[in-house]
Structure 1
Amino acid sequence: MTAPGPDEQAPVLVGIDGSAGSRAALRAAARIAQALDAPLEVLMLWEGPPLYEGWDVVDPDRPPEGSVRLLRESLAEVFGERLPATVRARLVHGRPAERLVAESGRAQLLVVGRRGHSGLRSAAPGSVSTACVGHARCPVMVVKH
């Protein structure tokens, strides 16, 4: 999480989880990055499986296949078969709100969907978007699906 060098433009950062709302955020972020002639960085965050009994070892360098699949599907839906050269996608281990806020320190804009996979439908924004709006170190755009 280093800041861009003097000759590098800070990226537009978008957090996705594979949901329809995050794909809408990805489309919006791609349009904004293109308009700004800025790189686009796509982050899909994953956490270890829930623990019910005992201990489970989570390898932060090896994301679950479901997360890999969701990232590929989301990118393909928005960009087609070829990812533009200005787009960088990463799977990152960690809690979504915490990692997006931390990564926001090197971005010119953070884009998130209003609601992710929580399944709760209400007028209120989701916990990740709320945390990003309240704590990010750059402007935040919350995209309503």
Structure 2
Amino acid sequence: MSKENILRITLFVSVLAFNPVVAETFESKINIQSQQNNSVSASIANILYKRGLDEDAAKEISQKFVTEDEELFARMIENLLHGYDQISRDELLAYLSNEALFRKSVSLECYDDLVGMVREIKQTVLNENTLKRLHIIAKQNQQLLV
């Protein structure tokens, strides 16, 4: 057998051997990403627990705050974080946990709520460009409800 054929056979066998490993790696990345998206209530509960609430009470408050469709709520959060990159996920979750603690509702599809949220997080007056971006985000989030 020539060296070229041995190389081809070795390459073929290695592709067959490592293909499942590569597939598992991609699958685990996808699972981690979906867990992050679906763990909004868990993140809020964790923040409330760190602030001194009982663990069960924190979970109950966060689950009531997030409402029935946590995946939709997580998608709206991702729209906001992607569309307005001036706030971090941690800042947003801290704000949401504070609102949950005081049993206030936040509508991520409502322009006024988004403006109030960003203004309170950043503690500044929002410029016209930011307001336009928040308006676009509110429209995108409204479309998710349909």
Q: TM-score, normalised by structure 2?
A: 0.25
User: Higher helix fraction: Structure 1 or Structure 2?
Assistant: 2
Q: Which has the larger radius of gyration?
A: 2
Q: Which has the higher contact order (CA 8 A, sep 6+)?
A: 1
